[in-house]
Amino acid sequence: MKAVQQYIDLLQENRTLIDNHSAPVLNALRDTAIADLQTIGLPDTSREEFLHTDVSAFFAPDYGLNLARVKRVNDPKEVFRCHVPNLGSNLFLFVGDNCHAMCKQSEFPQGVIACSLHEAALSHPHLVARYYGTLAHSDNDGTVALNTALAQDGFFLFVPRGVIVEKPIQLVNIMHGQHDFMACRRLLVVIEEGAQAKILSCDHTIDKGNFLSSQVNEIFVGKNATFDYYDLEESTLNTRRVASTFVRQDEGSNLLINGITLHNGYTRNNYYITLDGPHAESRLYGMAVADKRQVVDNYSFIDHKAPECTSNELFKYVLDEMATGVFNGRILVREGVQKTSAIQTNRNLCSTKEAHIYTQPQLEIYADDVKCSHGATVGQLDNNALFYMRSRGIPEAEARMLLMVAFTHDVIDMVRIDSLKESLHKLVERRFRGTLDKCAGCRICQ
């Protein structure tokens, strides 16, 4: 309760400051969010969905907030560059929650709006208001309520009907600074009928302070639209992250979400996907490589509201040292939602006695003409495969590494951007080799 109170106090004291540095559309939801936060508090382990990770503890430390929207760096390029070779993306850099556009609006096709949420809320208030906060309700999850109450900025993408955005959009979120800091970001994506877009979001931490990143994503995928969302986290042990992604898919839409956690401290990812129109297809993939005291907790809830939809879920964890992995996947097929196909798989490798995995796949089915399955395994590397490789002269450590890399490949193979796929393969391999995942030219890597 103490953790919540400090935020409520802060909100009450600085309400004018927050409102003044934000947009009316965002401010409109704050009162309800604060009320909700007061009622439900921040989730702790007493809630079934948060059984193994006490999220309220993430929020307990006293973090600094950049409520007055002070530009923290003059030239963001100096801070960090996360280069994916040959990706050719349109880049937006977030330092904390300050958005720096590294590309021009003219790079995007006609009608596309891609800019900071703050800007969009001022220039297109009606458009933003129509979608903002309509999926991410603050009355169920205290972290969403807190984010809604505090959020001042984020990223907004609007792709009008029939428009295809070829170039991926890359969002690089950087936590930096000498002081403990908390960033509240929003992502609002609206893909209209028949449109297509891809977003790659990378989280990085480049200083040693304690950071908390609170992210709420709302994604609307229109009829027959296609949207890819890649989410890569490479932070530090002192970083806590709570990211909730809410998606609504209309008829015939196609969604791909791929969440990859390579370095982190405490991470809680929530995915809420609603299949609202028939023939929609949803693919949700996730992967985590964790060691030391890393904690990776993925929660997913796929709600089949319309018939003849397909959902496919695959999560893989490789846990070493004292790491903890949590997977909780819930699939709900509502009454009368026939011809549903829902597949969920969770596979885990535990390398030490101290590494823990908690997995809880759930199926709730209220319709009969469905094909639903889930599978979960926990195990070790195949001894026969190890022996085979060693008998051919590959040292054991190398053989192990190769098998672990191979284990994660099928998640990365789902990526629909070739250059990103290649880059991820390399990144993961380097992660396993223990060489810090150095990118082409960032500050820490140099």
Partner 1 sequence: MKKDKKDYTENIDRTKNAAVESEKIINEVTSSDYKYGFVTDIETEIIPIGLNEEVIRLISAKKDEPEWLLDFRLKAFAHWQTLEMPRWAHLDIPPIDYQAISYYAAPKKKEGPKSLDEVDPELRDTFNKLGISLEEQMKLSGIAVDAVMDSVSVKTTFKEKLAELGVIFCSFSEAVKDYPDLVRQYLGSVVSYRDNFFAALNSAVFSDGSFVYIPKGVRCPMELSTYFRINAAGTGQFERTLIVADDDSYVSYLEGCTAPMRDENQLHAAIVEIRAHERAEVKYSTVQNWYPGDKEGRGGIYNFVTKRGLCKGDHSKISWTQVETGSAITWKYPSCILAGDNSVGEFYSVAVTNNRQQADTGTKMIHIGKNTRSTIVSKGISAGYSQNSYRGLVRVTAGADNARNYTQCDSLLLSDHCGAHTFPYMDIKNDTAVVEHEATTSKINEDQIFYCNQRGIPTEEAVGLIVNGYAKEVMNKLPMEFAVEAQKLLQITLEGSVG
CB of 294 to partner 1, least distance (A): 16
How many residues bind to partner 1 according to rule CB under 8 A? 36
Nearer residue to partner 1 within complex by CB, 8 or 363: 363
Q: How far apart are CA 258 and CA 415, in angstroms?
A: 7
By CB neighbour count within 10 A (0-12 exposed, 13-18 middle, 19+ buried), where does 137 fall? Answer: middle
CB of 369 to partner 1, least distance (A): 5
Question: Per-residue b/e over 54-90, b at no fewer than 16 CB within 10 Å?
Answer: bbbebbeeebebbbebeebbeebeebbbbbbeebebb
Q: Return the residues of window 295-314 that contact partner 1 according to CB under 8 A.
A: none
Nearer residue to partner 1 within complex by CB, 116 or 359: 359
CB of 383 to partner 1, least distance (A): 11
Continuous segment of H or E residues that includes residue 227:
strand 226-234
Angle separating helix axes 418-433 and 396-412, nearest 10 degrees: 150
CB of 45 to partner 1, least distance (A): 13
Pick the binder of partner 1 from 17, 103, 376, 394 (CB under 8 A).
376
Query: Which DSSP category does 115 fall into?
Result: E
Q: How far apart are CA 10 and CA 4, in angstroms?
A: 10
CB of 366 to partner 1, least distance (A): 4
Nearer residue to partner 1 within complex by CB, 371 or 438: 371
Closest by CA to 136, choosing from 247, 253, 210, is 247
Continuous segment of H or E residues that includes residue 13:
helix 2-13
Q: Return the residues of window 170-189 that contact partner 1 according to CB under 8 A.
A: none
Q: Return the residues of window 331-370 that contact partner 1 according to CB under 8 A.
A: 335-336, 338, 348, 350-370
Residue type, 72: R
Q: Return the residues of window 380-419 that contact partner 1 according to CB under 8 A.
A: 380
Pick the binder of partner 1 from 373, 398, 418, 444 (CB under 8 A).
373
Closest by CA to 99, choosing from 24, 151, 156, 154, is 154
CB of 140 to partner 1, least distance (A): 18
Nearer residue to partner 1 within complex by CB, 140 or 352: 352
Rounded to the nearest 10°, the torsion over CA 39, 45, 49, 51 is: -170
Pick the binder of partner 1 from 2, 16, 379, 397 (CB under 8 A).
379
CB of 385 to partner 1, least distance (A): 15
Interface with partner 1, residue 75, by CB under 8 A: no
CB of 341 to partner 1, least distance (A): 10
Using alpha carbons only, what angle is made at residue 221 by residues 217 and 226, rounded to the nearest 5 degrees? 110
Nearer residue to partner 1 within complex by CB, 123 or 352: 352
Pick the binder of partner 1 from 16, 48, 74, 446 (CB under 8 A).
48
Nearer residue to partner 1 within complex by CB, 209 or 358: 358
Pick the binder of partner 1 from 47, 179, 371, 426 (CB under 8 A).
371
3-state class percentages of the chain: helix first, strand second, coil last, to nearest 5: 25, 40, 35
Residues making contact with partner 1 (CB under 8 A): 48, 335-336, 338, 348, 350-380
